[in-house]
Chain A
Amino acid sequence: MGTGCLSAVRGNNRATVAEVSPSMADVEEKGERRPVESRALENQPEAQAARVAGVHDVKAAQALNQNAHNGSAGGDQNESIELVMPKASGGYDVLASRIKAPEKPEEPTPKPKAEPLTVDFLKAKAQQGDIWAKSFMPELEQAYRLPQGATQDLLIGQVLKKAEVIFRPEDRVKAQPEPQSEDQSQTSTGTIIAKQAEKNPAVEPVKALYDWAYKLEPGPQKEKHQQLAREQLVALEPQTKGTLDALDQRRQLAAEQEDCGVHELPRKQKEPMQGHVSYPDKEMEGVRRLTPEDFKKLAKAMEAGGPAAEESIRQTTQEILVRTGESSRDTMLAGINLVVGLLKYDRDLLLNPEQARKDASKAGEGLGLLLLAGAQMSVGISMTAEEAKQSGDYSLPLRRTGEALNRWYEKQTPADQMAIVSEISAGFGVAAFSAEGNKLRKPGAFMEFLQEGIAVLPRNPEAERKALEALTGVFKGRQVLKEAVAVGRVEKAGEVVKEAQEKGLGDHIMAMVRYFEHGKKKSVAGEYAAQKAGVTTKQELEALTDAQLKAVGLERVAEHYSDAFYKAYPHLESMRSKLQVHHALPQRLLEKKHAGLFSAQEVNDLKYLSGIPNDARIGKDRVHQLITNSWKEWLESNTNPTREQVLEHMRNLDQEYGRFFVPPLEKGVR
């Protein structure tokens, strides 16, 4: 048997690589020769004998085959053809064969099972910042304050039932974390901190700090905060030091390997298609399906502020979802989320500019969608409620956003204004409003221009997509809403005060300068302070020096202690609803009986402020309660303390409870 032919080895069609590697020309040649060979074989006596052989003869011949297959020659069909590589030591390796693994019936991929909605699920979602889940937290906490038993179970059951409306089984499956091996929790500082935060609520603020720092631009600031988070973690959970050290060692080793020429593969592109704006149908459709009444209810709910707003928004959402039905649930939720996000931005413009700045990019995108969806923004004083009812007013009261946009536009140079208008006009597919240049320079013109432009926009997806690209390009690219925060804040300060007074926005008043009367622990109204100082206007009061105020028994504190705290620790912003800002020096020290011991500025100084997580407990006792108890007992037995005695007791408390503080403290730090 020559090379170029499949060689039968041990009675099998087994070929060596050398035998099959020659080119296909061999095959063709073989094909041509086969008839000649066949004819030659036909004339052999053995061939004649074989042709006339009986069944017994055939079977006897087959039995001689030691490696028979179940093909025509008998034996196992799967071994009928094999490609082998002879080994130097004898024998061969099978490189390929027709052996196929027996086919198993395909088992259906097990679908992730939707667990029943649980309190833990809601808590996890709330921690991730889900506003719907967060809105259920007060009710849950209230239920858990009750003694264990039927009433508690009933209340928890009611909350979960309500939550079912928002969270469907699929969501719960989607929300289930990917199973992680133990090792994965040790692969980064972030995961180590996150794992500890799951076990110990006091670590949550540390996690917030780390997460916040993680998003910073690389540089010393980022490293500083990340290092701080590590230190805080070790202070709270000393056993993690070993894990963090081990992680450092692994990283160092990896870095050394890198230096030795091990190179990282190119990373997957994180931000696909920069500059392209997807067309979010769901949000757009969701907004379009909201009724004017829905807009009003959502806006009204947001006015409440704080947990009340969340609760109110949750209720309104539930009403909307029940009304619109299960089939459109996702669409409606997308629309509601967009509207709520914009309302929140609008509110933050007034009350929490820092947050507004953070959310500006998202708000810019949302605003473009809202406008395109056909909703309008109430910029000025709009129509009366009755007029709105009759006309089916689809306006969303984003007054501050609208005003801020107008002001931002008015701040631009004429050339920039022209460029902005051209950019948007091009996206809208209409000629630039060049003829109306003067009109566009009037106050408040920008919002009018936008709404007019949108009014004439052809209602087809392609036109809307282009318009959305143009709007997003302006709102996001030029960071309009980010800049609008600063513009709005500076110029609207006077109106802001007026509005706060009119609407009684407690939060907002607190954001202002506060005046304390000597001997009282609470701040007094500006009017009262002015009267006491013998001035008539707020400006005159503000112009007084600290010494002048002191002379009339007043003291000025620049900002509310809560604002000062979160300004200093912006990474804790997301923890606001979980954190109490604690005065290390009790405000009671400002009362008449301790007058002169500490100033209001000292008591409210950042140095003496600490966050205490609401759920920080030692056994059954809240940490905040234990500290308060301690101060009451101490003041009861120290009716005339000195400054140093007070500070020493504060330091003792720092030592005892400082590990629960956010940031953690040790004795002597303050």
Chain B
Amino acid sequence: MNFYLFKPDASGDEGDNTVYVGDPKARPCVISHLHYEFNLWPEDELLRSVSQYVGTQRLRQELEALRPPVTGVDFADVEISGDEDEFERMERQGRSDSELGKWYWFKITGKAGLDDFAVAPVGHLVISERVASIMLEKSMVHNPERQIQPWQAEIEAGRVPQKGAPAAGES
């Protein structure tokens, strides 16, 4: 299976109600409650803050329908809101929070080149071809030319590049 580098847009940030467990600067940082505060109206269905990811209900449903089951991501609830500054003044344009749709916290847990989802440097993601296909076919990304690119595996110490290797569960 091929893998792709996905560059999610950052349409928001971790809000005040986010609960960090330990040092927020730690990588990975541990969060027990994610509050995603939008500061730009979202154009995509999979977004990031600095270190966390959120996706729409529609994307979650598409992923959960995959067989074999999607790997490298866990879904959890997320609190969402819009910031009181430019989002409220410019971006919202009279639209209610409900028009943002239902969002979920996408906890990325996979290994690049093995799982459907994995974290790459600077907060990008490595996604499998089947995930990339869903996002393209369902128009979940506004600028796929920029955001989805072929992934070049990097050789890590003590690890063989996994690009092209079958995903977990695949024969």
Contacts and interface: CB of A to CB of B under 8 A. Distances in A.
Nearest to B7: A629
B86 A636 contact: no
A307 B94 contact: yes
A579 B145 CA distance: 27
24 contacts: A142-B93, A147-B139, A307-B94, A520-B16, A562-B89, A579-B90, A580-B90, A581-B86, A588-B13, A591-B24, A592-B24, A614-B90, A619-B143, A620-B142, A620-B145, A625-B10, A628-B9, A628-B39, A628-B40, A629-B7, A632-B48, A632-B123, A634-B122, A636-B122
Interface of B: 7, 9-11, 13, 16, 24-25, 27, 39-41, 43, 48-51, 84-86, 88-90, 93-95, 121-124, 139, 142-143, 145-146
Given A311-B94, A588-B13, A632-B50, A625 B40 contact: yes
Given A138-B94, A145-B41, A580-B86, 7 more contacts: A307-B93, A311-B94, A581-B86, A588-B50, A625-B40, A629-B10, A632-B48
User: Which interface residue of A522, A619, A640 has the most chain B CB atoms within 10 A?
Assistant: A522
A222 to B, nearest CB: 30
A308 B94 contact: yes
Interface in A628-656: 628-629, 631-637, 639-640
Interface string A460-485: 00000000000000000000000000
Contacts of A69: none
Nearest to B88: A506
Contacts of A561: 85
A311 B121 CA distance: 45
Nearest to A621: B143
A577 B89 CA distance: 8
Contacts of A297: none
A14 to B, nearest CB: 80
B40 A636 contact: no
B25 A306 contact: no
A141 interface: yes
Contacts of A300: none
Pick the 4 closest A-B CB pairs, nearest first. A632-B10, A633-B122, A620-B143, A138-B93
A362 interface: no
A561 B86 CA distance: 11
A561 B84 CA distance: 13
A629 B84 CA distance: 20
Contacts of B122: 633-634, 636-637
B43 A625 contact: yes
Interface of A: 138, 141-142, 145, 147, 306-308, 311, 506, 520, 522, 561-562, 577, 579-582, 587-588, 591-593, 614, 619-622, 624-625, 628-629, 631-637, 639-640
User: Which interface residue of B9, B10, B11, B95 has the most chain A CB atoms within 10 A?
Assistant: B10
A668 to B, nearest CB: 25
Contact of B50 (A306, A311, A625, A635): A635
A311 B25 CA distance: 44
User: Which interface residue of A582, A588, A614, A639 has the most chain B CB atoms within 10 A?
Assistant: A639
Contact of A628 (B10, B27, B88, B90): B10
A208 B93 CA distance: 23
B contact patch SS: loop
B140 to A, nearest CB: 11
Given A636-B50, A637-B121, A637-B122, A621 B94 contact: no
Contacts of A637: 121-122
A123 to B, nearest CB: 16
Contacts of B16: 520, 522
Contacts of A306: 89
Contacts of B41: 145
Nearest to B92: A307
Nearest to A630: B10
Contacts of A311: 94
A523 to B, nearest CB: 9
Contacts of B142: 620-621
B118 to A, nearest CB: 15
Nearest to A561: B85
Contacts of B124: 633
B43 A593 contact: no
A593 B16 CA distance: 13
A572 to B, nearest CB: 14
A621 B142 CA distance: 8
B25 to A, nearest CB: 5
Nearest to B93: A138
B3 to A, nearest CB: 20
Contacts of A593: 24-25
Contacts of B86: 580-582
Contacts of A307: 93-94
Given A588-B13, A636-B123, A141 B93 contact: yes
User: Which interface residue of A145, A614, A629, A639 has the most chain B CB atoms within 10 A?
Assistant: A629
Nearest to A577: B90
Given A614-B90, A625-B43, A522 B25 contact: no
Contacts of B11: 625, 628
Given A632-B49, A632-B50, A625 B89 contact: no
A619 B25 contact: no
B25 A639 contact: yes
Nearest to A509: B84
A520 B17 CA distance: 12
Contacts of A631: 10
A636 B7 CA distance: 13
